[in-house]
Amino acid sequence: MSLGLNPSPPTLSVKGISKGFSEKGGELQVLSDVTFEIERGELVCVLGPSGCGKSTLLKIVAGLEAPDEGTVEVDGRAVSTPGSDRCVVFQEDALFPWLTVSENVAFGARGRMSKSELKSEVDGYLDMTGLSRFADYLPREISGGMRQRVALARVLILKPKVLLMDEPFGALDAQSREAMQRLLLSIVKDLSHTVMFITHDVAEAVAIADRVIVMDRSPGRISSIVTVEDQAETHSRLRAIMHSL
Ligand SMILES: Nc1ncnc2c1ncn2[C@@H]1O[C@H](COP(=O)(O)OP(=O)(O)OP(=O)(O)O)[C@@H](O)[C@H]1O
Ligand SMILES: [Mg+2]
């Protein structure tokens, strides 16, 4: 007789998501029946052409936008509003300009722990993201790449179950982008973070992802899901898929 072992649910489960927006001329169907799962510790990229609905999908997962159909589950529990179990890093860093780097990192975690714990947590994340020297700087006094490191540190300190990233390095120059990709990889693999990362850049997806979900447009739906084993082989395969869309 089977012991009926109950495997734990995936960290993120997106089931049958559809979404349309009403426009002057009628309804624009943006997402159609999008279903996928992300396991704990996995970094999954959602890759697709501009306008295919990637940001809309991320906002639905974050609870910032409601789907017309479908559900989002975190650890098997349905979620429909924003929560600190799902933190977002957008392309624009959205830091508080009047707070220093360390105050920005501490901001969301205030009240969750004692002052001394908070200080040591902030110091730890500043160190991890290479920002210790800039703790007392204001956002306008540091580079775009450094601001995105602050944006990353201030969500990591909240220890979200799922990290949601919408083209977070899209505005950076190529060199800073590669440095950020390496930093993100080293941190999320060390801390076993679960990440949904949006990009329209094949090279970026191949460089960081365990799996890549490729989306087609009009309406946005999953065209294929590719596991990254050999990076060069996956790169040419993804380019071929993207060209065929
Ligand atoms: N709030 C909204 N109201 C009306 N239409 C919207 C809204 N949000 C998104 N759209 C439309 O939905 C479609 C998908 O937008 P979305 O921003 O999700 O695409 P994307 O894949 O993230 O594109 P990009 O790569 O350019 O960021 C677009 O046609 C966009 O104009
Ligand atoms: Mg977008």
50 C-alpha to center of ligand 1: Å? 8
d(CA 138, CA 233): 43
pLDDT, tens digit, 9 for 90 and up, residues 115-173: 999 999 999 999 999 999 999 999 999 999 999 999 999 999 999 999 999 999 998 89
Ligand nearest to the CA of 90: 2
- Which residue carries 């110091």 as its tokens? 123
Query: Which ligand 1 atom minimizes the distance to the CA of 59?
Result: 18
* CA atoms within a 13 Å half-sphere pointing along the CA-CB vector of 110: 7
Does residue 25 carry a pLDDT above 90?
Answer: no
Half-sphere exposure of 233 (CA within 13 A, CB side): 5
What are the tens digits of pLDDT across the range 57-96? 999 999 999 999 999 999 999 999 999 999 999 988 789 9
Sign of the alpha-carbon dihedral angle for 98, 99, 101, 104: negative
Quick check: helix, strand or coil at residue 54? helix
Write out the DSSP string of 159-218.
Answer: --SEEEEESTTTTS-HHHHHHHHHHHHHHHHHHT-EEEEEES-HHHHHHH-SEEEEEETT
> What is the rounded CA–CA span in Å between residue 198 and residue 225?
14
Q: Work out the average pLDDT over 92-107.
A: 94
pLDDT band (50, 70, 90) for residue 3 = low
Task: Report how far ligand 2's centroid is from the alpha carbon of 91 (Å).
Answer: 9
Q: How far is the CA of 59 from the centre of ligand 2 (A)?
A: 10
Q: Say how many Å lie between the CA of residue 199 and the centre of ligand 2.
A: 8
Residue 46 CA to ligand 2 center (angstroms) comes to 11
pLDDT band at residue 97 using 50, 70 and 90 as cut-offs: very high
Task: Give residue 23's pLDDT.
Answer: 83
| CA–CA separation, 77 and 206 (whole Å) | 30
Query: Which residue has its alpha carbon closest to ligand 1 atom 29?
Result: 51
Structural domains of the chain, ranges and CATH numbers in brackets: 12-85+160-244 (3.40.50.300), 95-159 (no CATH)
Closest listed ligand to the CA of 30: 1
Q: Are the C-beta atoms of residues 127 and 50 closer than 8 Å to each other?
A: no
Peptide bond into 67 cis (omega under 30): no
Atom 24 in ligand 1: which residue has the minimum CA distance? 50
* pLDDT for residue 180 is more than 60: yes
How many other CB atoms are there within 10 angstroms of residue 60's CB atom? 24
- CB within 6 Å of ligand 1 — which residues? 21, 30, 48, 50-56, 200
